[in-house]
Amino acid sequence: MDKFLSTLLDGEVASDFATKVLPVLRYVLFAIIIACAVVLTITTLMQDNDSQDGLNAFTGSKQESYYAQNKGASRDSILKRITIAMAVIIFVCVVTFFITELIAGNK
């Protein structure tokens, strides 16, 4: 793996890339991670807790309402989608951040 990275980063262009572009890219990725973490925290806190689901399973009572049938377009489903999207974005940015750290560490 080190041989592949060293052959990939040989030359003047690779040196400029590792010294000029990677630090800026790491700052941008870090800012994206922080912003997504804040949004993830807020959307998680805004979601309703479904603590009654366990009790309904125990007692056997369940209310069927228009709201329960159309949960796909509700506020909670939108917040859940935003939460999942922010978690995926954070994961991709963290992996990319550490890959850039690995590449910059080899030079």
Instruction: Give the domain extent around 36.
Output: 2-106
Long-range contacts, 97-105 (Cβ 8 Å, 24+): 97/26, 97/29, 97/30, 97/33, 100/22, 100/25, 100/26, 100/29, 101/26, 102/5, 103/5, 103/9, 103/18, 103/22, 104/18, 104/22, 104/23, 104/26
- Rounded to two decimals, the pTM is 0.67
Q: Per the structure, how many domains does the chain have?
A: 1
pLDDT tens digit sequence for 65-104:
655 666 656 888 889 999 999 999 999 999 999 998 888 7
pLDDT tens digit sequence for 40-75:
999 999 987 765 555 665 665 666 665 566 665 688
